[in-house]
Amino acid sequence: MSKILVCGAGGFIGGHLTANLLQEGHELICADIKPLEFWFQINDKNKNYSLDLKEFENCLEVTKDIDYVYNMACNMGGMGFIENNKAECMLSVLINTNLLRACLKNKIKKYFFSSSACVYNGQKQKETFIPGLKESDAYPAEPEDGYGWEKLFSERMCRHFTEDFGLETRVVRYHNVYGPFGTFDGGREKAPAALCRKVIMAKLQNINEIEVWGDGEQTRSFMFIDDCIEGTKKIFGGKSTDVYNLGSSEQVSINQMISIIEDIAKFSVNKKYLLDKPKGVRGRSSDNTKIIKDTGWEPTITLKNGIEKTYNWIHESIVSGDNTKKFTRF
């Protein structure tokens, strides 16, 4: 049993990670800037703190007497949020910076940083169905403005804290994680949850049209949350301080994803394309060669199976009047 701090524990990935680590028997300290009633998942067995980790004093407090730190905390959302809140996203650099400083002072054994596929060079993502991006494709640097720059800079911070101070760090680049207990409305939701919600609402209201941002031909790969947690722990438990992709290589267009959701819903919709909305790069997918070689990990849950689980959870939440903002205990 280890004493583990999960930062961003009130968020989507952080909530699932916390539930998994608690099930393994670890002692958990959980921190998030959101008030406790807005955490996606929470358990009273943990020590739960609502505080701002951009402040160094708060980082010092929560890292005291801790063995390991998972930093999942940042200000982010789907493409609509990160394109319209670049400064807010970049302020998350203070979380990583001050956590690293606090980890040195409190002699943390190992530190994990959750990066993003948004760090990749935009010039390599101008076509649909591009080859999977390798870890080296982040350079020369031209990441997503705002959010991507913050993540890439924070990756370098981890690298240099390892090189200069001997702090063991682990870094992964997440590729579009989705699943139950995630945001599906309010402006921060990502494509899988947003499209599930739109099809569900269209079916419930008997409306045969949904709005789609862009022309629907932009491509991505999407990773189900259970695969994400397993891969995260594989990297954390390994010996390498290299940066790793953590994602699926199953690349699909937004239109193809809508077709999958229509099949699950047994309901067809017409698409109203909004070409002036944020849509990000034209194509992106994960090359998993390195992580498979070093850890043996690769996703096991297909997009169709993962979307079905996500659709059913969102449908139940909408029909019951519940949503991700409700205080959820596990």
Please give the helix or strand (H or E) that residue 307 lies within, else none. helix 303-320
**Catalytic residue flag (residue 147):** yes
Token pair belonging to 177: 């994680």
CB 181 within 8 A of CB 17: no
Count CA within 13 A, CB hemisphere, residue 145: 8
Nearest by Cα to 253 from 211, 191, 328: 191
Nearest by Cα to 69 from 139, 6, 151, 163: 6
One of 49, 70, 120, 147 is an active-site residue; which one?
A: 147
The dihedral formed by the CA atoms of 250, 310, 275 and 137, expressed in degrees to the nearest 10: -40
Residue 328's DSSP bridge partners are: none
CA–CA dist 88, 76 (Å, integer): 8
Residue 84 CB contacts under 8 Å (≥ 6 apart), including other chains: 278
Token pair belonging to 62: 């929560």
Count CA within 13 A, CB hemisphere, residue 198: 23
Token pair belonging to 315: 């449908």
Residue 82 CB contacts under 8 Å (≥ 6 apart), including other chains: 76, 89, 118, 144, 146, 147
CA–CA dist 223, 230 (Å, integer): 11
Token pair belonging to 53: 């980790």
Token pair belonging to 55: 């402040």
Helix %, strand %, coil % of the chain (to 5)? 45, 20, 40
- Catalytic residue numbers? 147
